[in-house]
Amino acid sequence: MGIPVKLQAFEGPLDLLLHLIEKNKVNIYDIPIVEITDQYMEYLHEMETEDLDVMSEFLVMAATLLDIKSRMLLPPEVDEKGEEVDPRDELVQKLLEYKMYKYMSYELRDRQDGAAFHYYKQPTIPDEVKEYRPPVNIEELLGDLTLSRLHTIFRDIMRRQENRYDPIRSKFGSLKREEIDLSGTMRFVQQYISGKKTCMFREILVLRSGKLYKIVTFLTLLELMKEGKVAVEQEETFADIRIDWTGTDDGVSEEEFAQDYA
Amino acid sequence: MELGKAEAAIEAILFAMGDSVELERIAKAIEQDAETTRKIIYHMMEGYRTDRRGIQITELDGSFQLCTKSELYEYLIRVAKQPKKLVLTDVVLETLSIIAYKQPITKLEIEKIRGVKSDHAVNRLVEYNLVRELGRLDAPGRPLLFGTTEEFLRHFGLHSLEDLPMINPVQLEDFKAEAEEEIQTKLEV
Amino acid sequence: MELGKAEAAIEAILFAMGDSVELERIAKAIEQDAETTRKIIYHMMEGYRTDRRGIQITELDGSFQLCTKSELYEYLIRVAKQPKKLVLTDVVLETLSIIAYKQPITKLEIEKIRGVKSDHAVNRLVEYNLVRELGRLDAPGRPLLFGTTEEFLRHFGLHSLEDLPMINPVQLEDFKAEAEEEIQTKLEV
């Protein structure tokens, strides 16, 4: 199903979220997280951006939404005062703040239109006045600057420079941008799971490198759970996740998989 | 110094300098204290208000500058080149409004609020001279701090940062009230 | 068009243009004939003659221009000559210390160390006569090399650059080790 809105029109994940909230005419303080997350994911799928920086920002928000969504299913957390914590609170605060500045930017735009009709004048100071430079009183200027202070300043700069210098990355020679093909990666993860029938989450993570790959892998897993194609099990928090393929369509066999991705 | 002479001197100074001139510099030049000078300038501003005058004095954060009256714009564009109008995109305006209200602010803080990288927008704003570096934050990495310029005040017709349109508390309250009402309605259903 | 409005428009035009403007152009802008316009301008010139005004209209070969009254020249000089209180900013100090210890050094090398553009700071230091150009580096672009001046030595009571307090090489190694350790820790987390 196509979405008739140009995705590039959104300046970022918050902008897109605000749009969805307004479009659905829902209350920002009581976001129906399931619907909004679904719609958000739908937009994400439609997104055809080559810009990885932009994409990763949208993906981070997707992960946040999914996290909130899952926390909404759990029994409510309670803060130190014994009050229930709404998992949506932090997001709501962010959205409100963002919305406020967006609103202020419209105010500024209006102001600008009113202020544009003044002309100013170039300086017409006579040259001899313009070129006059008062003599610099060096003693006064340097004041109580001592050699040891100058020395300390230099030492601090060198220390900062060393801190900036990253001995590990600098050995790489040149840094490559992380390249990731979103739909390809999702297919890859799905094929891997369906091929193995049963596997561990960490096992998939080490197949490829990069933060984006990890995010996409996690998203894919959530997606497969939603579609009922996998069943997952985790014994305790932070433990590895066991994934069982329960999908009906035939997965790719291990041999084929090995051929494809050798 | 006689009042008339002081006014004449100030007009000459502002005219010749073209740019905005700090109150203290004007005061020193006419050999008066700052408060007297301010009073004289405010008195002059009244005088410029008459219909026969085409220019006026505008105050910018404790400095003063001469400019044409906006209602005469139509005559000016018939002779003078139309000043290039700065077109600020939504992204740039959004970033600018965050900087204006939160200054001094680092790029990272801007990005936190907007949820996206803002380098490009900040660089544009510095290029347009609406935003400038204010120094560095005393924190790891010593990130740059940004704030607005005098050109920013001029561009938006503000006399100081205190003139910034306030976030209308009524409006924000409206948002809240709306929200609560909706919840109420749902509960009653 | 009413006389007052015409005068205002002419003042604004002359102000915005800065240069002299031909009578015909002014006349066209205010939609009057040349003779009427000239009369209006002459009438305005009378008005500027009062002691309270600091500017006046001068006629130059059928063109008109606004300028300051010559008897107010001394005030202009006083504004321009006011010594601004000079302060050495952190940026300037940092740049000075780098030049002192690393001379001869190019702007590019300074920028590499500081991580930011340093033109302004270097220019200031040259202006203060603490730093001078030493020549050019025999490299592409033949960049300028900078070093400290005799004035610099004099101020700090140094007889030569060798008297500069040394940076302990052991300390530099320590910095490096510290930095590596930090990264190591981060990676292990």
pLDDT, tens digit, 9 for 90 and up, residues A13-67? 898 898 898 888 888 888 899 999 999 988 888 776 666 777 788 888 899 999 9
Contact between chains at C88 and A124 (C-beta distance less than 8 A): no
For the CA atoms of C167, C170, C176, C179, the dihedral, rounded to the nearest 10 degrees, stands at -100
Region B90-188: CATH code: 1.10.10.10
For A149, phi then psi, to 5°, come to -70, -40
For residue A230, pLDDT over 50 is answered with yes
Average pLDDT over all residues of chain A? 77
Q: State the pLDDT at residue A259.
A: 46
| Segment A117-136 mean pLDDT | 75
Q: Which of C121, C147, C125 is nearest to C134 (CA)?
A: C147
Report the interhelical angle of A254-261 vs A182-196 (nearest 10°). Answer: 150
| Segment C149-161 mean pLDDT | 85
Instruction: Give the contacts of C9 (CB within 8 A, at least 6 positions apart).
Output: B54, B72, B75, C29, C30
Q: State the pLDDT at residue A180.
A: 66
Burial of A97 per CB tally in 10 Å (0-12, 13-18, 19+): middle
Q: Looking at CA atoms only, how far is residue C80 from chain A in angstroms?
A: 6
Average pLDDT over all residues of chain C? 86
Report the interhelical angle of A52-73 vs A33-46 (nearest 10°). Answer: 160
Whether the CB-CB separation of A56 and A46 falls below 8 Å is answered with: no
Q: What is the layout of strands, in order, in the sheet containing B63-68?
A: B21-22, B63-68, B55-60
Q: Taking the CA atoms of chain C, what radius of gyration do you get in angstroms? A: 30
Taking CB atoms and an 8 Å cutoff, what residues of chain C touch A134? 81-84
- Residue A211 contacts C, CB cutoff 8 Å: no
Contact between chains at A147 and C165 (C-beta distance less than 8 A): yes
pLDDT, tens digit, 9 for 90 and up, residues A79-108? 888 888 888 888 998 888 888 888 888 888
Of residues A249 and C94, the one with the higher pLDDT is: C94
Q: State the pLDDT at residue C148.
A: 93
Contact between chains at A153 and C175 (C-beta distance less than 8 A): no
> Within 10 Å of residue A243's Cβ, how many Cβ atoms?
24
Confidence band, pLDDT 50/70/90 cuts, at residue A148:
confident
Q: State the pLDDT at residue B147.
A: 95
Question: Measured between alpha carbons, how far is residue A118 from residues A22, A231, B66, B83, C7 in Å?
Answer: 38, 68, 10, 9, 17
β-pairing, A84-85 with A198-200? unpaired
Residues β-bridged to residue C55 = C68
For residue B31, pLDDT over 90 is answered with yes
Whether the CB-CB separation of C80 and A130 falls below 8 Å is answered with: yes
Q: Show which of residues 106-135 on chain C sit within 8 Å of chain A, judged by CB atoms.
A: 113-115, 127-130
Q: Can you list the alpha helix ranges (DSSP code H) found in B58-134?
A: 73-79, 90-102, 107-114, 119-127
Of residues C138 and C10, the one with the higher pLDDT is: C10
Instruction: Give the contacts of B176 (CB within 8 A, at least 6 positions apart).
Output: A29
Q: What is the layout of strands, in order, in the sheet containing C63-68?
A: C21-22, C63-68, C55-60
Distance CA A30, CA A36 (A): 11
Q: State the pLDDT at residue A86.
A: 87
| Segment B56-81 mean pLDDT | 91
Lowest mean pLDDT segment, chosen from A116-120, A134-138, B49-53, C133-137: A134-138
Distance CA B99, CA B97 (A): 5
Instruction: Give the contacts of C107 (CB within 8 A, at least 6 positions apart).
Output: C118, C119, C122, C143, C144, C146
Taking CB atoms and an 8 Å cutoff, what residues of chain A touch C101? 154
Q: Looking at CA atoms only, how far is residue B40 from chain C in angstroms?
A: 12
Owner of token pair 């003044």: A118
For residue A176, pLDDT over 90 is answered with no
Residue to mutate among B81, B97, B111, B154, with most A CBs inside 10 A, is: B97
Q: What is the layout of strands, in order, in the sheet containing C144-148?
A: C105-106, C144-148, C131-136
- Nearest residue, CB atoms, C183 vs list A121, A134, A166: A166
Taking CB atoms and an 8 Å cutoff, what residues of chain A touch C77? 129, 132
Reduce the DSSP state of residue C59 to 3 states and report it.
strand
pLDDT, tens digit, 9 for 90 and up, residues A182-210? 777 888 888 888 888 888 888 888 887 77
Contact between chains at B165 and A29 (C-beta distance less than 8 A): no
Q: State the pLDDT at residue A255.
A: 46
Q: State the pLDDT at residue A138.
A: 75
Taking CB atoms and an 8 Å cutoff, what residues of chain A touch B80? 119
Distance from chain centroid for Cα B178 = 33
Taking CB atoms and an 8 Å cutoff, what residues of chain C touch B26? 79
For residue A1, pLDDT over 50 is answered with no
For residue B99, pLDDT over 80 is answered with yes
Q: Domain ranges in chain C? A: 3-73, 90-188
- How is residue C87 written in tokens? 């302060």
Taking CB atoms and an 8 Å cutoff, what residues of chain A touch C29? none
Distance CA A213, CA A192 (A): 14
Residue to mutate among B37, B52, B64, with most C CBs inside 10 A, is: B52
Q: Show which of residues 55-114 on chain A sit within 8 Å of chain C, judged by CB atoms.
A: none
pTM (global) more than 0.80: no
Q: State the pLDDT at residue C123.
A: 92
Distance from chain centroid for Cα B187 = 47
Asked if CATH classification 2.40.30.20 holds for the domain at C3-73, the reply, yes or no, is no
| Segment B100-109 mean pLDDT | 93
Whether the CB-CB separation of A37 and A193 falls below 8 Å is answered with: no
Q: Which residue of B has its CA nearest to C48?
A: B8
Distance CA B25, CA A101 (A): 36
- Residue C86 contacts A, CB cutoff 8 Å: yes
- Residue A215 contacts B, CB cutoff 8 Å: no
Do the two domains C3-73 and C90-188 of this chain adopt the same fold?
yes
- Nearest residue, CB atoms, C167 vs list A141, A154, A164: A154
Taking CB atoms and an 8 Å cutoff, what residues of chain B touch A104? 97, 100-101, 165, 167
Lowest mean pLDDT segment, chosen from B48-57, B63-72, B179-188: B179-188
Whether the CB-CB separation of A61 and A13 falls below 8 Å is answered with: yes
Largest CA distance in chain B: 78
Burial of B137 per CB tally in 10 Å (0-12, 13-18, 19+): middle
How many Cβ pairs closer than 8 A exist between chain A and C? 105
For this complex, say whether ipTM is above 0.90: no
Q: Which amino acid is at C96?
A: L
For residue B180, pLDDT over 90 is answered with no
Q: Domain ranges in chain A? A: 13-77+84-115, 182-260
- Residue A154 contacts C, CB cutoff 8 Å: yes
Contact between chains at A11 and B175 (C-beta distance less than 8 A): no
Confidence band, pLDDT 50/70/90 cuts, at residue B183:
low
Residue to mutate among C51, C79, C182, C186, with most B CBs inside 10 A, is: C79
- Residue C172 contacts A, CB cutoff 8 Å: yes
Asked if CATH classification 1.10.10.580 holds for the domain at A182-260, the reply, yes or no, is yes
- Residue A157 contacts C, CB cutoff 8 Å: yes
CA angle C171, C175, C178 (to 5 degrees): 130
Confidence band, pLDDT 50/70/90 cuts, at residue C53:
very high
